[in-house]
Each structure stands twice: as structure tokens, then as C-alpha cells.
Amino acid sequence: MARRSESAGPFLLRAALLAPALVLLLAFFLLPLAKLAMLGFEGQGYWAAITAPRSLRALRDTVLLSAAVSFSAVALAAVVGHFLARRRFPGRRLLVAMLTLPMAFPGVVVGFLVILLAGRQGLVGSVTEALFGERLVFAYSFAGLFAGYLYFSLPRCIATIMAAAEALDPALEEAARSLGARRWRVVRDVILPGLAPALVASGAICFATAMGALGTAFTLATDTSVLPMLIYTEFTLATNLGVAASLSVLLGATTWVVLALARGASGSLAANA
Amino acid sequence: MSLTALLQNCARSFPDGTRALHPTTLEFAAGSVTALLGPSGCGKTTTLRLLAGLAMPDAGGRVLFDGTDVTGLPVEQRGIGMVFQNYALFPNRDVAGNIGYGLEVRGVPKAERTARVAEMLRLTRLEGLGHRRVDQLSGGQRQRVALARALAPAPRLLLLDEPFGALDARLREALRAELAALLATLRITTIFVTHDQAEAMALGDQVVVMQSGRVLQQGSPRAVYQQPANRFVGQFVGTLNHLGGDRFCRPEALRPDPAGTLGGVVLVSFFEGGHTRLHLRPEVPGAEGEWVLNLGGTVPAAGSRMTLALDSAAVLHLPA
Ligand SMILES: Nc1ncnc2c1ncn2[C@@H]1O[C@H](COP(=O)(O)OP(=O)(O)OP(=O)(O)O)[C@@H](O)[C@H]1O
Ligand SMILES: [Mg+2]
């Protein structure tokens, strides 16, 4: 008897506590998503919107770009993050603080920086012209997008991985070395497995952010069209709500599937190690 | 098989000016077991890391293995085995994976490795646990895995940093006996760090007592106990009763004797099973602090006066 009333009490209490969260979830997440999914059926419909050559090309470019950026950002951040976590040198705190600065920049500013760096009047161009007599301009290509995306992804990855590297027990590395492991064995057998959860997590966030980034691509107005750009164009310029909604669902679903696959792969990797 | 290790004039300073170790020369004979004993922060771990090659001595210091200078050799090339204070087991490997790691790194073929791991599991009484995850082990089992992992590649020098530090008292004693038996059969030169004097005395052929980055005394447990170099060593490796001036004695040098010449009043007594530990207020001019003595049988009640005789051969003259 007592048990029943006890469990009934917390159940009601839990329901009451959960209610506001459920309302929020419904109002800001499920309802708009459902509306968006419904919108996709208007006009030519999902299949036509998604299979249009333009959409498929944008999807392919976006996924490739985001994957390339995620891998590069995580690899670079692993090296830098581990270094910053372990070494103490003058100016280290300032450097760490400066690294987090780009986090506040909107995509437009990042695009602008890429133009300053590799645009028609850019720094890289001036240097290569002086050296080789030819201006290297890549701001408006896939490479420019890559540079911009990498720029805004790196700080986030470094922050996450640095925190994980600080939590790694240095005695594990010393233990591996005392057993005869050289530098690369230590990296492979101790550091990478220790950082794996952080690498996967920051890679996933990086990928999702890159998939949805608009500002940088917009500023660079490149020859490569990424999916968010296409959605923007359909929505504001062509006011083609049905196509914009279809592509949005495609973008969301693709990101979700890729992340689920990555998580599954890293999970089985960790289990095998 | 085992080697003679020598620290020659080794000091260790940190950039902030801390002198963790003052210039020190210490020899560890082949096959011997040495305890580095001292209070927290006295430089025990520092000494061990210098031997391991995890830290470099200041300029002028040299580390020699069997007469060969290994000062510049990093830890991975010194061929030592080390057990870390918190064991530092690899969480992503099972017990067998941990124990076999040193062999894997050396490129030992799989079949040979498996045989050696099985041998180590048997030696450390871990049979059947080879495929256990290390976070599913008890503290004592972890300690044995760490030991097996260090021993698997057959090192010529074994270094242990507070091997029993994280264990409760009863387990410490059991594992201490186990380790003593293991070391006696392996005859590897062994150096272990502890701040427990009983552990140092029980396991070590040789005890090195340290304080504030200096070696105060090096000798057999018996010598260090019976002829301590100074008051600090005497107090650290046992109990000292002050007799006045620079004269001290161990508790067992005092015994109740109606014809004795020393007197004291019982302050408190602690029943410890086999004996009772008495604390007395000495009634001897110049004697400071309390006296301690261990008695079997019935003991006088607190507040009663005792007459004691002193074994005069056991009086220690200790400088401050
Ligand atoms: N990185 C460092 N920078 C500055 N001082 C240090 C550093 N590492 C250790 N020390 C100092 O060196 C001294 C000796 O340290 P060590 O670790 O050898 O002591 P220990 O005898 O092992 O002590 P414990 O029993 O507490 O482990 C201590 O005073 C410690 O504060
Ligand atoms: Mg220590």
C-alpha cells in the first residue's frame, strides 16, 4: 500500500515538473518541425525538389565540405589542444584567450576575413605575386569556403579537446613510455584513445555547424553553392516555400544520419580497442 | 640479470627555485631491495623519477646502470619496470592487454606474448582475470596488474612509487608479504617509495631515510633502527623516549623493575591485542615529552607510579 502511494506521488510530481519542458519542446521544436515537414508537400513535392540536379550537387558539396572541415579541424585541434594542455610557456594564457575570439564572429565576418586573406586584393595574392609573379586567389572557390569554415570551427574544437587533454592522466603516458613505447606508440595507444570521446563530440558539432553555415558562403558568393545557400535563395528570392522546406528537411536528415553513423562507428571502435 | 644502479651527485631543481633534491649519491646493489623512506615532499618520487629517466638531474649529476652512463637515455630506452602511485593502468585495454603492452611494444610475437602474460597472471595470482576490464577490478587486483605489467618485459630494475598507498591497512600487509616473496624469487634490483616505516623495514634490505631533499641515513633496517644518525631518523623509524640531554632509548629498552632507577606516572594505556601500549610522564630531570613502553599481561592503572629499569647498552646518543 505504502509503496503504491509513494510511487504515485513522485509520478504526479514528475509529470508536473516535466509539463513545462514538454510544452516548450512542443512549441519550439516539434510544432515548427511538423509545419516544415508539411510545407515540403506543397508545390512540386519532396522527390522532385530533392532529386533536382542542383539540389543533389549542393548536397554533395555541402557534405564533402563539412566532412573535410570536420576532419581537418579535429586533427589540427588535437595537436594544438594537447600541446596547450600540457606545455606551460610565457603568453600561453593570452594565446588561449585569443584562440577563442573567432567564436564570437558571425559567418559574414569570417567570409570577409577570407576575402582579406585570399581575395583579389588579398594577402596571399600579394605574397605569391611577389614570389612567383602570379596572384593566387582562392577566396571564391571551394578552398576559400574550406578556409573560412575551418577558421570558425577550430576554436570550438580546440576548447573541447584542450579540456579533455587536461583531464588525461599524464601518468598513463609515462607508464606507456616506461614499458618501452616511443612517441608515436604513446600517441596511438594512450593519447588518441583517451581523447576519442572529445574528438568525436567536437567533430560532430563541427560537422553539424558546417552543414548549416550560411554567412560565410553568402559573403564569399562562390561558384560552389552549399545547401543552406540554396535554401536561402529558394526562400527569399524565389519565395518557393515548398522547395525550401523540402531541402531543409533533407539538410536536417542528412546531418542526423551522418552523425548517427559516426557515433556508431566510433562506439564500435572504442569497444574493439 | 639484475643491475647495480648508481645516482652520482644528482640534484633536481625546478624553475620556480624549489630544490626537490640536493646533490645526492646513492648506490643500489644488484638484486637488492631498497626502501626510500621519508615524510611527504622530501623528494622520494623525485629520486625515483631520476632513476627511471622521467626527470633529468641538474648539470653535474649522472645516473649509471652497471657503470654505464644512462643520464641522457629517456625512460623508454632504459629497460626499467615501474609501478605508479595510482597504478596508471590503461583504461582502454583489459588486464591481459595491460600486462602484455610492454611485450607488444617490443614486437614480441603473439604466441610468446600470450604465454608470458599467462605466466605473469599466475605469478601475481590473477588467473582467470585476463579478460576483465581494469575498472572492474578491486584495488588490490589493480595493484597486482600494475606489478605484472611492469615485470612482464623482464626489467633489470624495478621502481615502485608507494605501491600500497591506495590500499587499506589489512590489504597492505597481505600484499606486502606477497611482494616480498615475489621479489625474493625474482632477484630484480628493486627500489620502492613509502612513507610507512613498517613497510620500509619489512620489505627493504636497505632503507634510505630522506628529509627535505637530503639523504639522512642509508643502511639496513636494523642499523637504521638501532643506530639512527640523528633524532629525526630515530623518530621516523620508531618511537624514541627522551632521557635528558642527547640521551634517548627505544621503548623495549625500558622494563618495569621495583629495583629500577627511573620513575614515571602512567598517563594512558592502549590495549593493542598482543600487548598494551603505555604512555608515561617521566619523573626524570631533563626528560621531555612522554615515554612509551609496551607491556604484556596486566598493566598499572592510569595515574599510578611505575619504577623502571633501563638497559644501559641500549641508550642512544643522538644529535638534534
Ligand atoms: N613541478 C614541480 N615544480 C616545483 N616543485 C615541485 C614540482 N614537483 C615537485 N616539487 C617539489 O619537490 C619536492 C619533492 O617532491 P616529491 O614529489 O619528490 O616528494 P615525495 O617525497 O614523493 O612526497 P610524497 O610522499 O608526498 O609523494 C616537494 O617539495 C614538491 O613540492
Ligand atoms: Mg611521491
Element at B34 (helix H, strand E):
strand B33-37
The verdict on B16 touching A (C-beta cutoff 8 Å) is no
Mutation test of ligand 1: which of B16, B19, B44, B54 has the most ligand atoms closer than 8 Å to its C-beta?
B44
- At residue A2 the predicted structure's pLDDT band, cuts being 50, 70 and 90, is very low
Mutate to test the interface with A, among B105, B143, B156 (most CBs of A within 10 A): B105
The domain over range A44-272 is classified in CATH as 1.10.3720.10: yes
String of b and e for A78-115 (b: at least 16 CB within 10 Å)?
bebbbebbeeeeeeeeeeeeebeebeebebebbbbbbb
- Report the distance separating Cα A119 and Cα A113, nearest Å: 9
> Is B175:B194 a contact under the CB 8 Å cutoff?
no
Q: Which residues of A touch B117 (CB under 8 A)?
A: none
The atom number, within ligand 1, closest to the CA of B36 reads 21
Whose CA is closest to B6, among B154, B151, B160, B189?
B189
B44 CA distance to ligand 2 centroid (A)?
6
Q: Whose CA is nearest to atom 7 of ligand 1?
A: B14
Nearest to B76 among A171, A177, A273 (CB): A177
pLDDT > 70: percent of chain A:
92
Q: How many CB pairs under 8 A join A and B?
A: 63
Q: Are the beta carbons of A178 and B74 separated by less than 8 Å?
A: no
- Testing ligand 1's pocket by substitution, the residue of B10, B42, B54 carrying the most ligand atoms inside 8 A of its CB is B42
Question: What's residue A38's pLDDT?
Answer: 79
Q: Where are the domains of chain A?
A: 1-39, 44-272
| pLDDT tens column, A78-115 | 999 999 988 888 888 888 888 878 788 888 888 888 88
Query: B interface mutation test: which of A178, A185, A190 has the most B CBs within 10 A?
Result: A178
Residue B44 Cβ inside 6 Å of ligand 1? The answer reads yes
Tell me which chain A residues have a C-beta less than 8 angstroms from the C-beta of B101: 176, 179, 181, 189
**Position in ligand 1 atom list of the atom nearest CA B195:** 25
pLDDT of amino acid A223:
67
Contact call for A189 and B101, based on CB within 8 A? yes
pLDDT attached to residue B234: 93
Give chain B positions within 8 Å (CB) of A185.
105
Q: Ligand 1: which atom is nearest the Cα of residue B16?
A: 4
Inter-chain residue contact A180 with B90, CB threshold 8 Å: no
Q: Which atom of ligand 1 is nearest to the CA of B46?
A: 18
B49 lines ligand 1 (CB under 6 A): no
Determine what percent of chain A is predicted with pLDDT higher than 90: 26
Q: What is the model's pLDDT at position B7?
A: 95
CB of residue B46 inside a 6 A radius of ligand 1: yes
CB contact under 8 A, A177 and B75: yes
Q: Using the mean position of ligand 1's atoms as its centre, give its distance from the Cα of residue B239 in Å.
A: 26
Q: Calculate how close chain B gets to A187, using CA atoms only, in Å.
A: 13
Predicted local distance difference test score (pLDDT) of residue A1: 41
Which residue from A169, A181, A185 is facing B88, i.e. has the nearest CB? Answer: A169
Residue range A177-187, pLDDT digits in tens: 999 999 999 99
* Model pLDDT, residue B112: 94
**How far from chain centre, in Å, is Cα B199?**
5
Give the closest-approach CA distance of B116 to chain A in angstroms: 15
Of B244, B269, B246, B242, which is closest to residue B254 (Cα–Cα)? Answer: B242
- B209 in ligand 1 pocket by Cβ < 6 Å? no
Best residue for ligand 1 mutational test, from B13, B18, B22, B199 (most atoms within 8 Å of Cβ):
B18
pLDDT, tens digit, for every residue of B187-230?
899 999 998 888 899 899 999 999 999 999 999 999 999 999 99
pLDDT at A273: 47
Assign A8 a pLDDT band (cuts: 50, 70, 90). low
Mutation target among B78, B101, B131 for the A interface, most CBs of A within 10 A: B101
Angle between helices A142-167 and A53-86 (to 10 degrees): 40
Q: Is B16 in the pocket of ligand 1 (CB under 6 A)?
A: yes
- Select from B52, B45, B198, B5 the least CA-distant residue to B207: B198
Task: Specify which residues B62 forms β-bridges with.
Answer: B8
Nearest CA-CA distance, residue A121 and chain B, Å? 48
- pLDDT of A47 reads 77
pTM, two decimals, is 0.82
Contacts of A190 in chain B (CB under 8 A): 90
Q: Does B314 touch chain A (CB under 8 A)?
A: no
What is chain B's pLDDT, residue by residue, as a tens digit (320 residues)?
A: 689 999 999 999 998 889 999 999 999 999 999 999 999 999 999 999 999 999 999 999 999 999 999 999 999 999 999 999 889 999 999 999 999 999 999 999 999 999 999 999 998 889 899 999 999 999 889 999 999 999 999 999 999 999 888 778 788 888 888 888 888 888 899 999 998 888 899 899 999 999 999 999 999 999 999 999 999 999 999 999 999 889 999 999 998 988 888 889 999 999 888 889 999 999 888 888 899 999 888 888 888 898 999 888 889 999 87
**C-alpha dist (Å) from residue B274 to A259, B60, B201, B315:** 67, 52, 20, 26
Q: For B105, which of A172, A185, A193 is closest by C-beta distance?
A: A185
Q: Least CA distance to A185: which residue of chain B? A: B105
All 3 cell numbers of residue B125? 595470482
Architecture field, domain B241-317: Beta Barrel (2.40)
Contact B276, B266 (CB under 8 A): no
Written as one string, the DSSP assignment of A102-142 is GGGS-HHHHHHHHHHHHSTT-HHHHHHHHHHSS----TTSH
Q: Residue B316 pairs with which residues in a beta bridge?
A: B248
- The residue among A84, A67, A39, A35 whose CA lies nearest residue A241 is A39
Chain B nearest C-alpha distance from A93 (Å): 18
Identify residue A36 by its one-letter amino acid code: L
Query: For residues A231 and A213, what is the distance between their CA atoms, to the nearest angstrom?
Result: 12
**CATH fold of the domain at B5-226:** Rossmann fold (3.40.50)
